[in-house]
Amino acid sequence: MNRMDTTVTPLRVGLLGFGLAGSVFHAPLIATTPGLALDTVVTSDPERRKQARAAGGPDGEVRTVASADELFADADRFDLVVIATPNRTHVPLAHRALDAGLPVVVDKPLAPTAEQARELAAKAESRGLLLAPFQNRRWDNDFLTLRSLLGQDALGEVFRFESRFERWRPRLKGGWRESGDPEEVGGLLYDLGSHLVDQALTLFGPATSVYAESDVRRAGAEADDDTFIAITHETGVRSHLWMSATAAQLGPRFRVLGSRAAYVKYGLDPQENALRAGARPAEGAPWGVEPQDAWGTLGAQDAPDELREVPTLDGDYPAFYDAIAAALHDGTPPPVTAHEAAATLQVLEAARSFAHSA
């Protein structure tokens, strides 16, 4: 990990939301990033407020407030606002942050539509403020490994990119993520699909056409829980993307087919489970490391002697907030842009149109 100079005065961060995204991803990553300090968390839940106060890491106890109004009333206190609230609130809260003159990171999806994402981008640019969507899966171990292999031309010309986020959750968990209300922006298409499409566009470029199949499989479910997207890229690569809560046996995370070889990788990056278990990235300590028995394979079926295991590069979620700190301190580009998020949302909107016409 390429971390910032620890002598730099930390920038104070206000975090809105302390559910899954806020508590598992944003708070620990912010608190362990040199150049950033988790100052305030917005949550009205008493138990979450208790947990949030202990999330500050070496910078001490975190202040908590009950509402976004309280945070924005004290806007001069902050150098950065991070929005990790339910999807329906992302756009209004991002506008409030930018109107208050604050740089902002927004958990995915940035907005329900590409048009709204572009409006936010235009506002941020007009004010000279950072606006960065949190697309942490660009720093998954398997994605980093595949990107390295593509840079080495290890597969030859890539024909097809298959990517899956599959789960086996036959029983509903409830909450806004499974709501059928369009205002909630729930369902797997905008949840896991935001990652899958962002990864595909990052690797293989803009989409020229989109096809999708989207279903509601589980009894009592309201939002899509089993969706497939096919993208044709300008480069000619075809991406086939699966997201499901109904997969009793999981397919490969990646299967990438090229003119000379294929890369096949099973299993998920270990960083999320580590964060959920309370582990924290630390300078100089191993992070995102995968055991050899989980490595992917590279080669061709007709040359089994040439099939080889590919060591998986370490996952690096801390790189996102390292880049945010550098952008704010030094003016370097953000790690992800709102325009990139808009391109992803354009694909998601096209995919959603198939579900509505089915």
Say if residue 286 is in the same domain as residue 192: yes
Residue 4: per-residue pLDDT: 55
Say if residue 177 is in the same domain as residue 311: yes
Say if residue 327 is in the same domain as residue 239: no
The answer to whether residue 338 sits within a structural domain is: no
Residue 5: per-residue pLDDT: 57
* Cα–Cα distance measured from residue 41 to residue 53, given in angstroms and rounded to the nearest whole number: 8
The answer to whether residue 115 sits within a structural domain is: yes
**CATH assignment at residue 241:** 3.30.360.10
Averages of pLDDT over each 10 residues, the chain, 358 residues: 63 97 97 96 94 80 96 97 97 98 98 98 98 98 98 97 95 82 85 97 98 92 92 98 96 97 97 96 91 96 84 98 97 97 98 73
Taking only the tens place, the pLDDT of each residue in 113-144 is 999 999 999 999 999 999 999 999 999 999 99
Q: What is the identity of the amino acid at 258?
A: G
Say if residue 245 is in the same domain as residue 297: yes
Say if residue 45 is in the same domain as residue 77: yes
* Cα–Cα distance measured from residue 251 to residue 254, given in angstroms and rounded to the nearest whole number: 9
Query: For the chain, what is the domain count?
Result: 2
Say if residue 238 is in the same domain as residue 306: yes
Say if residue 142 is in the same domain as residue 276: yes
Say if residue 215 is in the same domain as residue 184: yes
The answer to whether residue 337 sits within a structural domain is: no
Say if residue 116 is in the same domain as residue 212: no
- Structural domain range at position 23: 11-136+320-332
The answer to whether residue 4 sits within a structural domain is: no
Say if residue 185 is in the same domain as residue 43: no
Residue 327: per-residue pLDDT: 97
Whether residue 55 contacts residue 31, with contact meaning beta carbons closer than 8 Å, is answered with: yes
Cα 227 to the center of its chain, rounded Å: 18
pTM of the model: 0.94
Residue 191: per-residue pLDDT: 94
Say if residue 281 is in the same domain as residue 176: yes
The answer to whether residue 197 sits within a structural domain is: yes
CA distances from 115 to 78, 87, 182, 339, 349 (A): 28, 16, 16, 10, 11
Say if residue 57 is in the same domain as residue 160: no
Backbone phi and psi for residue 203, each to the nearest 5 degrees, phi listed first: -80, -40
The answer to whether residue 339 sits within a structural domain is: no
